[in-house]
Structure formats: structure tokens, C-alpha cells
């Protein structure tokens, strides 16, 4: 049976807690390659085996259906699972768990029958309005079972126009669990990234915008210019001499074919090509060769953005600009997975996307009506073309020294990055939500002290975390005692489990704002000051503490 990672178990428990305590639909946010499918499989197993429920998993890509079926078999080998997908030539019905392609099943709610849970994979693809396929199916399914609940799984809880997928009027209503890219990289669950920009870049200001994205035809015309393709292919070959598997994203079919032609004829390397019109047998053959390592370069157009699992990818080449932070994230995310011998993943960004949206572990999400003003979230080294966080005074890759930024123009808002490497910047953030959980350090021995992780939501998809060491000794414990005593009338807990229970029961003063100290190069921002609400009175001992929700709790959460 598959063993869940600590954060995956937290996600499962958060879903159950949400379903029990609220009457709306939760969303789980876990980065690409962070393991959403085991979370989904565990929920299916519990729903069927503990609560005698029926579950339908909806996805839009064939690979996602196949991955879900594989992980379900690992987590619960005895679980009866059917697949309903025209692409897979399956029409299974009547199973406790059905994995279905939304295109195949959206008008078949009556054939499926009553289900208790619908889990939507890649939930950011649910349309925001209108009678899309998801809404059509769910509306009919709720006529059969009005108690139906929906759970969303995604790495990017926002759409192309930067709108959140969770809102009272949407299918999904609130994020119940979220963990970030940076934390999973530090913990060793995701691969580290390096980003470089191309030496030649077109003038993106010439492009027109339609429905929140650059006009596709204009993008392809611009990126398909001979000088850009020749320059990009030369740099790709140069940068990837020591790389094993290179995935390329082109701007269109004509552009992709041009790239493959230059790679093959000029640089004498085999470069496969996949687009929407590629025949299934040819596509399967190319993907198999790429995964096995016999095909080093694979170029695609809009088909390997989500649901494509090739852990061996150690370089992602993006030859298209996008205004969508979600699309930028999904493309880069193809290189997140760990693989033997893979030290990091190189991202070659020829579309200016890292400068536009920021690093994928700190995406800048701006409102749709924003005109793009404000400080860029990243910058490019003019010497080695590495794309790095905006606050660095020296390039961490080549040592290039950037000009002193003290003399720059006045900005609309203060920078969140230090101006020089030896300087720190302190910024106060309003806190909208605070979350508490038990944190177990990866690889720690069973008897090692644990910590209480506190996550402060300080903006859309932006969190700051700190760790309270109630189980430690010495200075760390003294700091934890001070932290707790400022917020609570309760005695300082002796275990992290007790601390989390008390925190979730309302024993801590609410945190209104935090002051964050940031220094370029640090793995984490540091919370150095707080603005707290009123300290609550002692909890009524007659009421007791709320019971901890566990994945094995036999009370039905839906």
C-alpha cells in the first residue's frame, strides 16, 4: 500500500474536515509533480471502503485518466474501478469508482447514476461561467443526488485572466489545503530549477491581446522569424550538451515544424514533434521513446502542458510568450519531477515569461484589468542570461554585479526585495487567514521533535510560514514559549498535536498582520513582528477540544 507523504496526509485530512464542517466544495492545491493523484486515490479508497460511497473522477486528458487508474490500484488494489473514455475505448459503468473523460461523459449523468463525490483533476480548467461540460454534468448529477459534493485538485488555482477558481458562485468555493513549490523543493520532493533567457527577444509590446492572452497567430508569426528560430536552436543545442531529455514548447504548428527542421538539418539531432493533429500511434511512439531516453528532443504545441508525466525531463524550452501565469507554471512544471541522476532542471525561456510572471515558486498574480505597472518580479543577468529574483545584487551563477538600485525611479509600491545582498527589507502584510498543522521534517528519525507549522495567507496564492518548536529544547523552546504566551491564556502545550488542537479550537489570538524580513538568497522569508488581535479567554473545559480528524475516521464526511 502506498505511504502518503506528511503533506499529502494533511491534504486528505483537510478535505474531510472541510466536507464535515462546511456545505460547499473544497479545492486542494499541490504543485505539479507534488503528488495530487495519491491524495485523490486515498479519498476514493476511504469513500468506498469506510463510508460505502460512490466516486467519479473527472479529467480532460487521457494521460490523467491512466495515471489515476494506476495510482488507485497502488493505494487500494481491491477497489473496483471502471474507466469511461472514448479515447481509451472503455465504457465501464456501475463501479464504486469511475474515472471518466469529461468530453465522453458530460451528457451521461443518468447512465452513471447516483454518486456521492466528484473529484475534478486539473480543476483550473473548469470554465468560470456558461454551460460548459463540467457544469452540464454536475447540474444533472445533482438532480440524481442533491447531496453530491465536488472536490477540486490543481497546481494552479487561478485562470488565464488571473481570477481565482474558488468563489461563492463557482463550482469550487474555497481552498482547503495548499502547499508551495519552494517548500517542496527545500524538502527534497521537487527538483530544483535554473532559468536562462534567450539572447534575442522580440518586441512583445507589438502583440495584441484577446480574452486575456496574446493573439495566437501574431505570436506564431513573431516567434517563427528565421533569425529567432536559428538563434534559439543554436542556444538550445549549446545549453543542453549535458542534458538528457529536452521538452520544447512551440508557438504553433508551423513554428514547431520549423524548429524541428533546423534542429535536424543544421544541428544533426533528432527532434520529435507532437501536436493536436498527430496520429495516436505516432504520438504514443514518440512519447515512449522520449520517456525511455532514446529521443532527447521533443517539440510540442499545446498537447504536453498538463497531464504529461516524464520524470526524466531535465530541460524545458519555452519558445512562446504567454500572459497566463497558469500556463507558464504548467509548462515549467513538466520539469519538477525527481529522477535518478537529475540534479536540477534547466528552463530556457525565450518568451520573456519569467520576467513577466516571476519564478514559479513566487508567481506574481495581477488582476485582469492591471496594466502591468510595478516592479518586475525577476530580472535577467546581462552576462550569463540567468533569470533570477529581482533582489539580487550579484548574479548567483556568474557573479555579475548589478548597478546600485538606490538611484532608480520612485516606485508605486515599495519593493519586497532587498536592494543589496547585505541589506534586508522589512514589509508589513495584512493577514487574511491563518492555518496550523503538525510538521514532520523529511528524513527525521521517528523520535525527533516535531514543530507546529503556521501558514499566514498574505495575498492571493501568497503565504508566509513559520515553525513553532514546542517539542524542542533550549533556545528554540524558549522562543516557542514566548510565541505561545503572547497569544494564548492556555498553558504552553507539551506536544505539537496539543498545540494544533488548541490553535484550531480558538485558543490563540488572531494574527491581523505580520512583518516579514527578506534577504536575497535566503530559502525562507522570516516573520519578525506581529499585529495581534485580543487574546481569547481560557477554553471552557466542559466543552473540551474538538476531535482530531483522521483519514480513518468512520463518520461520513459527505
Q: Which of 202, 231, 196 is nearest to 395 (CA)?
A: 196
Residue 9, pLDDT > 90, answer yes
Residues 6+ apart with CB under 8 A from 88: 62, 65, 66, 101
Helix/strand/coil (H/E/C) assignment for every residue in 75-118: HCCCCCEEEEECCCCEECCCCCEEEEEHHHHCCCHHHHCCCCEE
Domain range annotation of the chain: 6-183, 191-366, 426-532
Q: Are 272 and 288 in contact (CB under 8 A)?
A: no
Domain 6-183 sits in CATH 3.40.50.1220: no
Tell me the per-residue pLDDT of 383-425, one tens digit each, with 9 for 90 and over.
Answer: 665 665 555 556 655 566 666 544 333 333 222 333 233 456 7
Mean pLDDT of 154-181: 82
Q: Which of 59, 101, 34 is nearest to 311 (CA)?
A: 34
Residue 538, pLDDT > 70, answer yes
SS3 1: coil
Mean pLDDT of 436-456: 84
Round the average pLDDT of the chain to a whole number and report it.
82
Residue 53, pLDDT > 90, answer yes
| H or E segment to which residue 354 belongs | helix 353-357
Percentage with pLDDT > 70 across the chain: 81
Tell me the per-residue pLDDT of 113-155, one tens digit each, with 9 for 90 and over.
Answer: 999 999 998 888 777 655 588 889 999 999 999 999 999 999 8
Q: Which of 201, 299, 216, 298 is nearest to 250 (CA)?
A: 299
Q: Which of 116, 108, 72, 74 is nearest to 92 (CA)?
A: 108
d(CA 311, CA 301): 20
Confidence of residue 220 (pLDDT cuts 50, 70, 90): very high
191-366 has the same fold as 6-183: yes
d(CA 394, CA 401): 4
Which CATH number is 191-366 given?
Answer: 3.40.50.300
Looking at residue 546, what is its pLDDT? 39
Q: Are 320 and 249 in contact (CB under 8 A)?
A: yes
More confident position, 198 or 218: 218
Amino acid at each position: 500500500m502506498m505511504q502518503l507523504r506528511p503533506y499529502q496526509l494533511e491534504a486528505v485530512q483537510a478535505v474531510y474536515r472541510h466536507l464535515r464542517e462546511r456545505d460547499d466544495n473544497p479545492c486542494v492545491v499541490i504543485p505539479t509533480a507534488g503528488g495530487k493523484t495519491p491524495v485523490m486515490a486515498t479519498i476514493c479508497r476511504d469513500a468506498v471502503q469506510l463510508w460505502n460511497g460512490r466516486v467519479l473522477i473527472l479529467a480532460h486528458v487521457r494521460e490523467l485518466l491512466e495515471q489515476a487508474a494506476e495510482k488507485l490500484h497502488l493505494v487500494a488494489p481491491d477497489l473496483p474501478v471502471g474507466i469511461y473514455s472514448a479515447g481509451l475505448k472503455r465504457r465501464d459503468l456501475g463501479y464504486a469508482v469511475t474515472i471518466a473523460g469529461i468530453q465522453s461523459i458530460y451528457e451521461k449523468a443518468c447512465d452513471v447514476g447516483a454518486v456521492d463525490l466528484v473529484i475534478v483533476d486539473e480543476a483550473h480548467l473548469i470554465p468560470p461561467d456558461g454551460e460548459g461540460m463540467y457544469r452540464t454534468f454536475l447540474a444533472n448529477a445533482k438532480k440524481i443526488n442533491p447531496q453530491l459534493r465536488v472536490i477540486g485538485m490543481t497546481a494552479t488555482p487561478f485562470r488565464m485572466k488571473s481570477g481565482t477558481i474558488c468563489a461563492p458562485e463557482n463550482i469550487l468555493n474555497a481552498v482547503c489545503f495548499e502547499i508551495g513549490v519552494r517548500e517542496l523543493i527545500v524538502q527534497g520532493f521537487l527538483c530544483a530549477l535554473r532559468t536562462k533567457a534567450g539572447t534575442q527577444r522580440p518586441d512583445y509590446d507589438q502583440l495584441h491581446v484577446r480574452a486575456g492572452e496574446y493573439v495566437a497567430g501574431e505570436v506564431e508569426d513573431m516567434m517563427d522569424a528565421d533569425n529567432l528560430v536559428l538563434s534559439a536552436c543554436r542556444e538550445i543545442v549549446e545549453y543542453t550538451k549535458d542534458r538528457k531529455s529536452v521538452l520544447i514548447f512551440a508557438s504553433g504548428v508551423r513554428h514547431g515544424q520549423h524548429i524541428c527542421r533546423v534542429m535536424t538539418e543544421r544541428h544533426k539531432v533528432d527532434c520529435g514533434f507532437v501536436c493536436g493533429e498527430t496520429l495516436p500511434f505516432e504520438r504514443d511512439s514518440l512519447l515512449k521513446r522520449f520517456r525511455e531516453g532514446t529521443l532527447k528532443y521533443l517539440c510540442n504545441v499545446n498537447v504536453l502542458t498538463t497531464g504529461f508525466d516524464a520524470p526524466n525531463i531535465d530541460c524545458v524550452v519555452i519558445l512562446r510568450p504567454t500572459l497566463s501565469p497558469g500556463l507558464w507554471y504548467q509548462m515549467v512544471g513538466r520539469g519538477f519531477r525527481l529522477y535518478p541522476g537529475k540534479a536540477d532542471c534547466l528552463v530556457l525561456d525565450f518568451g520573456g515569461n519569467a520576467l513577466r510572471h516571476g519564478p514559479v515558486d513566487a508567481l506574481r498574480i495581477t488582476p485582469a484589468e492591471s496594466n502591468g505597472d510595478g516592479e518586475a518580479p525577476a530580472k535577467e543577468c546581462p552576462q550569463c542570461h540567468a533569470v533570477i529574483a529581482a533582489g539580487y545584487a550579484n548574479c548567483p551563477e556568474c557573479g555579475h554585479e548589478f548597478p546600485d538600485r538606490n538611484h532608480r525611479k520612485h516606485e508605486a509600491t515599495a519593493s519586497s526585495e532587498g536592494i543589496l545582498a547585505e541589506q534586508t527589507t522589512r514589509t508589513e502584510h495584512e493577514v487574511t487567514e491563518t492555518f496550523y498543522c503538525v510538521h514532520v521534517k523529511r528524513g527525521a528519525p521517528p523520535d525527533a521533535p516535531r514543530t507546529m507549522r503556521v501558514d499566514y495567507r498574505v495575498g492571493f496564492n501568497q503565504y508566509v510560514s513559520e515553525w513553532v518548536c514546542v517539542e524542542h529544547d533550549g533556545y528554540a523552546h524558549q522562543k516557542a514559549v514566548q510565541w505561545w504566551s503572547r497569544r494564548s491564556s492556555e498553558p504552553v502545550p507539551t506536544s505539537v498535536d496539543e498545540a494544533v488542537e488548541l490553535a484550531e479550537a480558538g485558543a490563540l489570538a488572531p494574527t491581523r498582520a505580520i512583518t516579514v524580513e527578506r534577504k536575497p538568497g535566503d530559502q525562507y522569508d522570516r516573520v519578525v513582528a506581529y499585529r495581534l488581535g485580543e487574546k481569547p479567554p481560557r477554553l471552557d473545559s466542559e466543552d473540551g477540544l474538538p476531535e482530531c480528524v483522521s483519514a480513518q475516521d468512520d463518520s461520513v464526511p459527505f
